Chains A and B, each alone.
Chain A
Amino acid sequence: MSTTAFLTDATLCIGCKACEVACKEWNDVPADGFQWSGLSYDNTEALGASTWRHVMFLEQPVVAGPQIAETNTPFRWTFLSDVCKHCANSGCLEGCPTGSIVRTELGGIYVQPDVCNGCGYCVVSCPFGVIDKRPTDGRAFKCTFCYDRQKVGLKPACATACPTTSIQFGLLSELAPRAEARVVELKERGYTDAQVYNPTGTTVGGINAISVILGEPENYNLPPAPEVPTAYLKSAWTSALISATVLFGAICAAFALQ
Chain B
Amino acid sequence: MSKISEQRLEEIKQLASEGKLASHPTAGITAHPQIQGRDPYYGLPALKPPVWTWEVPLYFFIGGISGVSACIAFAAQIFGADPALIRLLVWVGFVGALVCPALLIADLGRPARFLNMMRVFKWRSAMSMGAWILVAFSGAIATALAAVELPRWGFDGGLVTALRWLGGIGSTVTGLLLASYTAVLIGATAIPVWFKNRVVLPIHFLCSGLGSAAGICELAGFLIPATHLLGFFASGVETLLEAWFLLRRTKVNAPMHHGGLGVAFLISGMLEGPASLLLRIFLGATPAGRWAAALSFMTGALISRFCWIRAGKVSALDSRGQFEMQRRGEAVP
Question: Which A residues are in CB contact (< 8 Å) with B117?
Answer: 97-98, 117, 119
Smallest beta-carbon distance A140→chain B, Å: 7
Smallest beta-carbon distance A94→chain B, Å: 5
Task: Take A229-B190, A243-B202 as given contacts and tell me if A119 and B326 are in contact as well, using a CB distance cutoff of 8 Å.
Answer: no
**Contact yes or no, A118 B71, CB < 8 A:** no
Q: Is B128 an interface residue (CB 8 A)?
A: yes
Task: Take A98-B116, A117-B117 as given contacts and tell me if A45 and B44 are in contact as well, using a CB distance cutoff of 8 Å.
Answer: yes
The residue on A at minimum CB distance from B198 is A236
- The interface centre, meaning the residue of B52, B110, B131, B333 with most chain A CB atoms within 10 A of its CB, is B333
- Docked pose: A117 CA to B35 CA in angstroms: 39
Question: Which B residues are in CB contact (< 8 Å) with A2?
Answer: none
Dominant secondary structure of chain B at its interface with chain A = helix
Task: Take A64-B36, A94-B124, A98-B117 as given contacts and tell me if A120 and B51 are in contact as well, using a CB distance cutoff of 8 Å.
Answer: yes
Smallest beta-carbon distance A206→chain B, Å: 16
Q: Is A124 an interface residue (CB 8 A)?
A: yes
Smallest beta-carbon distance B313→chain A, Å: 10
**Contact yes or no, B199 A235, CB < 8 A:** yes
Q: Is B48 an interface residue (CB 8 A)?
A: yes
**Contact yes or no, A138 B190, CB < 8 A:** no
Q: Is A163 an interface residue (CB 8 A)?
A: no
**Contact yes or no, A117 B114, CB < 8 A:** yes
**Contact yes or no, B190 A116, CB < 8 A:** no
Task: Take A75-B32, A240-B180 as given contacts and tell me if A118 and B109 are in contact as well, using a CB distance cutoff of 8 Å.
Answer: yes
Question: Which B residues are in CB contact (< 8 Å) with A247?
Answer: 68, 71, 176, 206-207, 210
Question: Which A residues are in CB contact (< 8 Å) with B316?
Answer: 124, 129
Task: Take A95-B126, A226-B333, A243-B203 as given contacts and tell me if A120 and B52 are in contact as well, using a CB distance cutoff of 8 Å.
Answer: yes
Question: Which B residues are in CB contact (< 8 Å) with A40?
Answer: 32
Point out the residue from B109, B177, B210, B323 that lies within 8 Å of A218, measured CB to CB.
B323
Of the 9-residue stretches A17-25, A164-172, A174-182, A250-258, which lies at the interface with chain B? A250-258
- Docked pose: A251 CA to B39 CA in angstroms: 51
Chain B contact residues (Cβ within 8 angstroms of A): what range? 35 or more
The residue on A at minimum CB distance from B186 is A124
**Contact yes or no, B50 A252, CB < 8 A:** no
- Docked pose: A215 CA to B39 CA in angstroms: 10
**How many interface residues does A have (CB within 8 Å)?**
84
**Contact yes or no, B190 A125, CB < 8 A:** yes
Within 8 A of B (CB), among A92-121: 94-100, 115-121
**Contact yes or no, A119 B109, CB < 8 A:** yes
**Contact yes or no, B230 A244, CB < 8 A:** no
- Docked pose: A252 CA to B229 CA in angstroms: 11
**Contact yes or no, B108 A118, CB < 8 A:** yes
**Contact yes or no, A124 B50, CB < 8 A:** yes
Q: Is B224 an interface residue (CB 8 A)?
A: yes
Question: Which B residues are in CB contact (< 8 Å) with A120?
Answer: 50-52, 107, 109
Q: Is A61 an interface residue (CB 8 A)?
A: yes
Q: Is B157 an interface residue (CB 8 A)?
A: no
Smallest beta-carbon distance A28→chain B, Å: 19
**Contact yes or no, A39 B42, CB < 8 A:** yes
Within 8 A of B (CB), among A202-258: 202, 215-216, 218-230, 232-233, 235-237, 239-241, 243-244, 247-248, 250-258
Question: Which B residues are in CB contact (< 8 Å) with A58?
Answer: 35, 41
**Contact yes or no, A60 B108, CB < 8 A:** no
**Contact yes or no, B40 A233, CB < 8 A:** no
Question: Which B residues are in CB contact (< 8 Å) with A161?
Answer: none
- Docked pose: A246 CA to B331 CA in angstroms: 28
Question: Which B residues are in CB contact (< 8 Å) with A70?
Answer: none
Question: Which A residues are in CB contact (< 8 Å) with B329?
Answer: 225
Question: Which A residues are in CB contact (< 8 Å) with B39?
Answer: 218-219
The residue on B at minimum CB distance from A127 is B333
- Docked pose: A240 CA to B183 CA in angstroms: 8
Point out the residue from A64, A219, A252 that lies within 8 Å of B79, measured CB to CB.
A252
- Docked pose: A209 CA to B122 CA in angstroms: 26
The residue on B at minimum CB distance from A94 is B124
The residue on B at minimum CB distance from A131 is B48
Smallest beta-carbon distance A55→chain B, Å: 12
**Contact yes or no, B188 A123, CB < 8 A:** no
Counting from the closest, the 10 A-B pairs by CB-CB distance are A118-B109, A138-B109, A117-B113, A97-B128, A240-B202, A127-B333, A255-B79, A97-B127, A244-B176, A240-B180
29 interchain pairs (CB within 8 A)?
A: A39-B42, A39-B44, A48-B48, A73-B25, A91-B333, A99-B119, A99-B122, A115-B119, A116-B110, A119-B117, A121-B125, A121-B185, A124-B194, A127-B47, A128-B46, A129-B45, A129-B47, A216-B37, A225-B331, A232-B198, A236-B184, A240-B181, A240-B206, A243-B180, A244-B176, A248-B176, A251-B210, A257-B225, A258-B81
